[in-house]
Structure 1
Amino acid sequence: MGEIQPEIYILSRDAEESARLNRQHEILLEIYGNNLIHPSIPKENLHSVADLATGTGIWLRDAATVLSMWNRNPSSPYYLHGSDISSAQFQPIPAQANAEIQLSLQNCLEPFPAEHHGRYDFVHVRLLVGALRKGEYELAIKNVFDILRPGGYFQWEEIDMNSIRSDISPQPPSLIEARGLLLDSLNKSDLYTKPAGHIKSGAERIGFGNLHIEEYNSTARPHLRDWSRAWLTQGLQSLIPMSLIRLGKASEEDVAKEMAEELMAVFKRECAEVTVGLTMDMVIGRKPERLKNAL
């Protein structure tokens, strides 16, 4: 397993970015066919749930609603816990009957406090592609393993950055440039551009079973055409400035933002009438009921 390096998160943590994350959550739900939790995971058995890198906590908000529909027994309350390396984007989560919801500071690369070990029926992780270096994924996966109870499930969602493309050929030049900047920046920073396969193989080495990857492509849902393009435009505009700086194409943040705005203005014109999509990979796995070294 790799050593923990200084944080490399390339997005801001201001109100604008929080709003973008919340809009992103809504479109991802649409891409997944409104399956917040993969259908293969038995929701009736989920009484304790953790959300790592929770951001604003919006996933937990919807998880509380979903689980309330499956858990109607007042004598069997459920517990939801969100954690993140920063509390800057935490937002209040509406109270739910028969539920305890908490948010706390926690680096997913650091071991969780002992009270969390073996506590959770389900752990959710999403979109750390720009935050974890290649050698750090197994640290995070090991921490997921440790906080799951035997028989518990995890669900980890990541973008396949290589899949960003339009439905026309040749591809719009601005899309080629934007995608190239993003991929070059990730590669230079020792980040995966398609993490799902590495998450699956790392989880297998650590001891997870029942592992599989579910692929969801935004272009498979035509009603998301305009929404998906707008989401990608916002995401690229947020990511490109730091990519330009990392690649040495801009020395200052203000200059990088101006360059990104110019590129994205062309992108909006060239892609105004095309479908632009990407693939989301969802890795699902289960901690064995009985560990190999158990007596």
Structure 2
Amino acid sequence: MESINDDNSLYLFEADEEERARLNNQHVVLIHIIDNKILHAPINPSAITSVADVGTGTGIWLDAIAAHLDSISNDQAPQRQYVGLDITPAHFPAPHSLPDNFAYDVWNILSPVPEERKGKYDLVHIRLLAAAFVKGQVAVAVENLVQLLRPGGWIQWEELDGESWAGRVPSPHVREMSELGIKSMEAKGWEMHVPAAFVKAAEAHPSLQNVSETIYSTVKYGTKIRDEVNTTWLWSCTRSAKMILLASGQPNAEEEMHRLEQGAKRDIEEGGLFWDSDEHVLLAQKKW
């Protein structure tokens, strides 16, 4: 998850190889939970000629959507263009490894849209920016996403809810970490409910139509990859809690974090628990 509003840290998690691997593993889990579908926008694949991925990270979603579209397109279709956008290039693929129709660039979703990108994309994808906005900024993001779209183009946004992302796990240690996160978000004025804020902003936007929200439960869709779901969500929860504790200046932050992390692992493993949480798929179409 990006941290757009913190001037001292452009990325909530460390920009290292461990984080890069985590992002790629996380992608597999997130796609599995949303019914194993990479494309949810009801758009004719043959009509997609240009795709933007905002908050792209390693670019793994771009690779996946390109492979999906190529697999269902005829050989006569024009070459699609793909661009990954992020506030930091830390995880971008090496330039020499990119196909000719792929590009990556630095852009903050809350910044003005560059003229050369306005009205250019048939599909704009966003994922996991729940830690990116203070209250009121989701509407700014929606306006910028609309500017990226061509008429008839779609926004597809996959997101967690700030208050429930830590799950409904009956673990006292997970609950403690969740409460740490919620208190930190509230103290910083972050938007706690990004999915709801998106729906509200999109429905109010004069250029958008066909706004929808579908909620996918890890319990319903993720049981086949139980261990991967538990690992992904627990890692994110413990890393966030660790950063909050360290930033607080608490003298025993490391010891406290170790207690919470080991306790949560023990609760999940010994109790046979499954990380019960939701992933929201948000859609909106730009009017013709």
Normalising by structure 1, we get a TM-score of 0.87
Cα RMSD after superposing both structures: 2.1
> Does structure 1 retain, via aligned residues, the 8 Å contact 2:181–2:241?
yes
- The one-character-per-residue Cα deviations of 1:126-164 (angstroms, maximum 9, x if unpaired) are 111112222221221111100100110001111123333
1:41 aligns with: 43
How has the CA–CA distance of structure 1 residues 173 and 120 changed in structure 2, closer, same or farther, with 3 Å as cutoff?
same
Q: Structure 1 residues 212, 262: CA separation in 2 closer, same or farther (over 3 Å shift)?
A: same
How far apart are the structure 1 equivalents of 2:24 and 2:250?
29
Going from structure 1 to structure 2, the CA distance change for 1:175 and 1:123 (only over 3 Å counts) comes to same
Q: Is the 8 A contact 2:41 2:154 kept in 1?
A: no
Q: Which residue of 1 aligns with 2:103?
A: 102
Amino acid at match of 1:275: F
Check conservation: 2:41, 2:156, Cα contact below 8 A: no
Asked if the contact 1:48–1:121 (Cα under 8 Å) also holds between the matched residues in 2, the reply is yes
Quick check: 1:166–1:275 contact (8 Å CA) kept in 2? no
* Larger CA deviation: 118-127 vs 86-95: 86-95
Aligned-pair distance for 1:204?
2.1
Counterpart Cα distance in 2 of 1:131 and 1:257: 25
Tell me if the contact between 2:41 and 2:283 (Cα under 8 Å) persists in the aligned partners: no
How far the C-alpha of 1:17 sits from its partner, in A, is 1.2
Cα distance, 1:6–1:237 mapped onto 2, change above 3 Å: closer
Contact kept, 8 Å, 2:216 with 2:280, in 1: the verdict is yes
**Pairwise CA distance, 1:75:** 5.3
The answer on 1:212 being equivalent to 2:209 is no
Structure 2 unaligned segments of length 5 or more: list them. Answer: none
- Listed as ranges, the matches of 1:163-242 within 5 Å are 163=164, 164-166=166-168, 171-207=170-206, 208-221=208-221, 222-242=223-243
**What is the match of residue 151 of structure 1?**
152
CA contact (8 A) 1:160 1:278 kept: no
Which string of whole-angstrom CA distances, capped at 9 and with x for unpartnered residues, describes residues 82-109 of structure 1? Answer: 011110111249656xx71111111111
Please name the residue that 1:265 is paired with. 262
Q: How many residues align?
A: 277
Distance 1:250 1:91, change over 3 A: farther
Aligned to 1:293: none
1:72 is matched with which residue?
A: 74
1:274 equivalent in alignment to 2:273: yes
CA distance in 2, matches of 1:143, 1:166: 33
Distance in 1 separating the partners of 2:16 and 2:250: 22
Give the AA of the match of 2:92: F
**Equivalents in 2 of 1:186, 1:132: separation in Å?**
10
Unaligned runs of 5+ in 1: 290-295
The 8 Å contact of residues 18 and 56 in structure 1, kept in 2 or not, is answered as yes
**Aligned residues of 1:218 and 1:224 also touching (Cα < 8 A):** no
Aligned to 2:135: 134
Distance 2:120 2:98 in 1: 21
Deviation of 1:259 after TM superposition, in Å, equals 2.7
- The alpha-carbon deviation at position 191 of structure 1 amounts to 1.4
TM-score normalised by structure 2 residue count: 0.89
The amino acid of 1:261's aligned partner reads: H
